[in-house]
Amino acid sequence: MPKEIVETRNLFTDSAEVISGNCRDFSMNLPQGVLRCNPDQSMRVTLNTFSMFKNFYDINKYNSVFYVIAADRATGALTGSAPVVIENGDYQGFTGVQFGLCAKIQAALITAITAAAGAPISVECLYNRLSRLFTININQGVALAGKQLFLTSFTIANYDSSVGGIVPTIIADTEVNAFQSTHIIMGGCHEQRNQVDTVADLTEMFKRASDVDQGLVSFVGYYNANLRSETNLYLRTDLQSTSFQTANFDIGDNLFPYIVNSNILAKIPIPPNRFSYVEEYNKTQNQVTSVFDYEADCETITFMDNGNNVFSILMASKGVGSLRLFITDSFGRVLPEISKQQIDCSALAFTTSLRVDVFQETSAS
């Protein structure tokens, strides 16, 4: 039977002040008339608008850690490892001397390897503007004599620190380091297996271009580096959804079954950071002599429905007494906070307007 809209309601929400939850994830009790219809009616919930300040870093706790691992050259046995932690922030470029991503990766590698080796180590991070690939050169020197270095990034769903192999020895109980998107930032591969028996069996993040004991070891990325690993924000809900997704949208899911029910209400593009700069280049010395930066205002993430009910749910229930809304990345992780105070002060708040359409069956004329 044909249906027509007999009633429309709007629900405006703001997570800056909530009774249950926090600014990224909150629940609310609904009055009887908000999400309820008669037995012979049906409802559709549509996201009309969404907005929030982009108050989270592009390089954050979810994509800023990889590992440098050392193995005995003769036996291949694991001799040590250390996390390489890239400073979090919104990077304007790759090659800046002070604030470029390459310089921060180099500094993080020096800190990690020097601490593990017990002696200063020379590290160089290079960025090719044409191929957009990273190259990392490490002078192993006497401090790393007889050892071979590996660079590895882990993206392990359902990480278990109690299994055998070398992975739990490297990651230990730091679960956030077990599922990282750092390989996207670096332009490399990632290790997805929870159990790996030897260091040689690990999936290396970069291609090994050269390797000399007590000399230079060079690693080159497989594809272009990036200044962010997420292109969309995901608004999710606990409403019974008519949507489906591939299983890799959630960090803990296996890939079978591959198509599963989804709690995603909307997939909202994150705008790129608007930074611009002018370089003065000295051709004689073949180097950039000065850079003038022009900083942009804080970006906002917005969505407005175009009238086609792009993100909507056909309700199976005739009445719902509560509603949960929460924002995540593509793996279902709540958006990364810069500090605990940011959550306490509701500085990752978002607003929505939801439209509830009530349909009534009509007799065919």
Is 110 found in the same domain as 240? no
**Do residues 179 and 94 share a domain?**
yes
CA distances from 112 to 69, 119, 177 (A): 10, 11, 15
Examine the domain organization and report whether 150 and 282 are in the same domain: no
How does pLDDT run along the chain (365 residues), one tens digit per residue? Answer: 678 999 999 999 999 999 999 999 999 999 999 999 999 999 999 999 999 999 999 999 999 999 999 999 999 999 999 999 999 999 988 988 888 999 999 999 999 998 888 888 899 999 999 999 999 999 988 889 999 999 999 999 999 999 999 999 999 999 999 999 999 999 999 999 999 999 999 999 999 999 999 999 999 999 999 999 999 999 999 998 888 999 888 887 678 888 899 999 999 999 876 655 555 556 566 666 665 555 555 689 999 999 999 999 999 899 999 999 999 999 999 999 999 999 999 999 999 999 999 999 876 65
Q: Is residue 80 located within the same domain as residue 206?
A: yes
Phi then psi dihedrals of residue 272, to 5 deg: -70, 155
**What burial class does residue 261 get, using C-beta atoms within 10 Å of its C-beta: 0-12 exposed, 13-18 middle, 19+ buried?**
exposed
Domain final residue, candidates 155, 187, 220? 220
Q: For Cα atoms 60, 168, 215, give the angle at the middle one, nearest 5 degrees.
A: 75
- Spell out the alpha helix ranges (H) of the chain: 101-117, 167-171, 182-186, 340-344
Task: Give the domain-ending residue among 168, 201, 220.
Answer: 220
Same domain, 211 and 297: no
Cα–Cα distance between 315 and 41 in angstroms, integer?
10
State both tokens at 314: 């056909």
200 within a domain of the structure (yes/no): yes
Cross-strand pairs, 347: none
Domain hosting residue 112, numbered range: 65-220
The closest of 220, 296, 275, 223 to 100, measured between CA atoms, is 275
Q: Check whether residue 13 and residue 90 sit in a common domain.
A: no
In terms of domains, do 144 and 241 share one?
no
Identify whether 225 is part of a domain.
Answer: no
Q: Residue 344 maps to which CATH number? A: 2.60.120
- Which residues, other chains included, contact 283 with Cβ-Cβ below 8 Å and sequence gap of 6+? none
Spatial separation of the C-alpha atoms in residues 363 and 17, rounded to whole Å:
45
Task: Please indicate, yes or no, whether residues 216 and 69 belong to a single structural domain of this protein.
Answer: yes
Which of 133, 113, 138, 130 lies closest to 188 in space, CA to CA? 133
Number of structural domains the chain divides into: 2
Do 242 and 340 sit in the same domain of this protein?
yes
The letter for the amino acid at 109 is L
